[in-house]
Amino acid sequence: MDFAFTRIKGGVGAPQGFLTSAVTCGIKNPAATRLDLALVVSEDACASAGTFTTNRVKAAPVKVSQAHLRQGDLRAIIANSGNANACTGVQGVHDAKTMCAAVAKALGLKRTEIGVCSTGVIGLPMPMMRLEPKIPELVAGLSLKNGGDFAAAILTSDTCAKEVAITLDIDGHRVRIGGCVKGAGMISPSMATMLCFITTDASISSAALRQVVLECVEESFNRITIDGDMSTNDTVLALANGRSGMPPIRRKSPAYKQFRQALGYVMLELAKAVVRDGERVTKFVTVEVKDARTYLDAKKVAEAVCKSALVKSSWNGGDPNWGRIIHAVGYSRARIVEGFVDIHIGGKAACLGGLQAPTPMDELRAVVAQPEFTITISLNQGSADYAMYASDLSREYIEFNRSEYSYW
C-alpha cells in the first residue's frame, strides 16, 4: 500500500458519529444466549451504497434493502443471524419491512432510511414474536463502544468475529473507516456469501460512494471462494456520514484515489478473513494468474482453479498436484496454449511449458504442507493478471454441512 494508515479498534463503531448495539433474541434457538440481533446508526445523515447477491433467488431483506437504496440514502442497518428470511414469500418481505419500521419509529427516521440484513437457515419464517419485542432494547443500548458486539451478533457458522478499522489523513482531515463481516460457508464470487458492513466519517457523495464500493467489492469479495456456492443473502452496505469535517470527496480527485485505497484495504482484509475462517478449512491459498491475453482470460483461469473440487482436495491432502491445476486451466474456457503454461507453487517451479518441472517433489510438498501458500500460473500470452483467494476442501466440511436442517 502506498498510503499511510493506522489500524485501530472498534470495527463499524470506530468512525465518528456511529452508534452500535446488539441483543439476544433466540432467533434460531429460543434457549440460546448468544447475540443475534444488531444495529448500527449514524447520528448524522449519510451517503450510502450497497452491492447484493447476483443469485436469482434473493432473500426478503435483500429485496427490501435494494428498494430502500433506490429511494434514497440509508442511515441505519438492522441485521440478524440464525434465520436468512429467504424463500419466505410475501410474509418474509412483510417481516423485513416490519424490522425496518420498528427501528425507524424508535429513532424518528423514515422506514426507507433503514437497511435490513439477515443470515442463517433458508426457508423458515422469521420468528418475529421473539425478534420484534427486542427492538426497543436494541435501540436503547446504542453506544459508541459496541462495535465488537455488532460483529459477534451477525455470525453463523463462523468461529470468530471479523472486523477491521483504520484511520488516515485525507486533505488534512483525520478520517476513519470501519468494517465487519460474517461468512464461512457458501462462498463464491459475484458476490461471495457474506454480510459486510462498512462505516466511515469521510465526506463523499452517494454517487461517488457507490462507485468506489463497486470497485472495491470487485477487488475483494468477488475474489474469494470457499466452496463455490452462492447464497441468497449476500450484501455489502456502506454508510458515510461526513463527521470528519473534510471537504466532499469527488470522483477522479486525489482524495478519491486515497479513499479508494483505504476502503480497498479494509474490504480485502475482511474478505481474506472470511476465507481463513471458512467452514472447516485448513489452507488459505492465493492463486495468481499472470501474463494472460486479457483480464477476462486471467479471471476465468483463476476461478476454474479455485473452484475445482479436485484441486481443493489436493490442497487439503498436502499434495502439490500441478496436473489438477493445469487441467482446470484447460477447461476454464480461457484462451491458453498448453505448451506456454508455467505453474509455480510457493515460488518453486512445478510445471514449465506444460511439462513436469525438475523441482524435487519433497520441496513442493513442504510448501503445500503450510497453512498458507501462493500458486502462480503464468500463461505467457499477454500482460493481464488476476488474483483470487481460496481454501481447501476437507472431509470435516462435508460432515459439517450434512445436517444443517436436522433440527427442523
Catalytic center residues: 193
Residues 6+ positions from 59 with CB-CB distance below 8 Å: 53, 84, 85, 86, 87, 92, 118, 122, 232, 233
Helix (H) or strand (E) holding 299: helix 295-307
> Which residue shows C-alpha cell 482436495?
313
| Selection from 235, 230, 247, 225 nearest residue 312 by Cα | 225
Q: How far apart are CA 286 and CA 136, in angstroms?
A: 44
Tell me how many degrees the CA angle 341-355-225 measures, rounded to the nearest 5. 50
**C-alpha torsion sign, points 362, 368, 373, 377:** positive
297 and 385 Cβ atoms separated by less than 8 Å: no
**C-alpha torsion sign, points 363, 365, 366, 372:** positive
DSSP 300-351: HHHHHHHH-HHHHHHHHTT---HHHHHHHHHHS-----GGG-EEEETTEEEE
Q: How far apart are CA 118 and CA 86, in angstroms?
A: 9
38 and 21 Cβ atoms separated by less than 8 Å: yes
β-sheet with 384-391: strand ranges across: 224-225, 384-391, 284-292, 372-378, 342-345, 348-352, 355-356
Q: What are phi and psi of 337, to 5 degrees?
A: -120, 120
Q: How far apart are CA 179 and CA 345, in angstroms?
A: 32
Find residue 376's DSSP bridge partners. 288, 344
Residue 137 to residues 25, 27, 39, 131, 140: CA-CA distances in angstroms? 11, 15, 11, 11, 5
Burial grade of 300 (CB within 10 A; 0-12, 13-18, 19 or more): buried
